[in-house]
Amino acid sequence: MHLNDSLYDAAAWLSLLTHEQQERVLRDVSVAQYPAGAMIERKGEKAYAWIGVHSGLVKVSVGTPDGKLASLTGVPSGGWIGEGSLLKNEARKYDIVALRASTIVRLPAATFDWLLDTSIPFNRYLLHQLNERVAQFIGKAEYDRLLAPDARVARCLAELFNPLLYPGKSMRLDITQEEIGYLARISRQRTNQALRALEAANLLKVEYGAVQVLDLDGLKQYSL
């Protein structure tokens, strides 16, 4: 797959690099395609690459041997995940699973480390991403325990439109109600009810297989 043009849309950080650094990234990345439900990265395996979602939608989740699962977050196209495991040189602490057919880009650990050593803008980008990721997970821990299903769906969708984690995205996201339910950890029927309530509040518009956000701040503040 030829990435020289399309990777710029899927990796906002690429434009921060020098021409030499961009050339090495484009030379070193690899691309793989996964069907819906496929395991992209498995918990416990050694992290050997930074993971980018070129197209599609993936979920980051953890599970127990008896089959219990908990979704931590969703990552739409343009998002990158797994920098923490690379920075700490450790095994992944979660699974990455394709919620729909997805094209995944992998930046090798050696190239990732080289960018850390040679690019101040890349380091700054990564610092902002890590800070935003921490805030995201703190917020999720709060609303999973305190908020009703309508508000959980609102916050779940707001996460997917985070401009720092997923820069350059439009206010429309291809996502089904079933996929939203997976991420918010509620049933498809209850997800449908929540989306209708949010639509009635003029916060979003439900389309076939997609959601158009009308008021991102409103989604973030819903029920507060």
User: What total number of domains does the chain contain?
Assistant: 2
Q: Is 138 among the domain residues? A: no
Domain termination residue (choose one: 73, 102, 132) = 132
Query: Predicted confidence band at 1 (pLDDT cuts at 50, 70, 90)?
Result: very low
**pLDDT of res. 47:** 93
Domain termination residue (choose one: 132, 162, 188) = 132
- Check whether 2 has a pLDDT greater than 60: no
Query: Predicted confidence band at 141 (pLDDT cuts at 50, 70, 90)?
Result: low
- Check whether 58 has a pLDDT greater than 70: yes
Query: Which of 22-26, 116-120, 171-175, 201-205 is predicted least confidently?
Result: 171-175
51: left (phi over 0), alpha (psi -120 to 50) or beta: beta
> CATH number for the domain including 57?
2.60.120.10
Helices (H), 59-162: 83-88, 109-118, 120-146, 149-160
Same structural domain for residues 62 and 124?
A: yes
Q: Is 142 among the domain residues? A: no
> What's the rounded mean pLDDT across residues 119-144?
84
Q: Which domain holds residue 100?
A: 6-132
Q: Is 75 among the domain residues? A: yes
Domain termination residue (choose one: 132, 164, 190) = 132
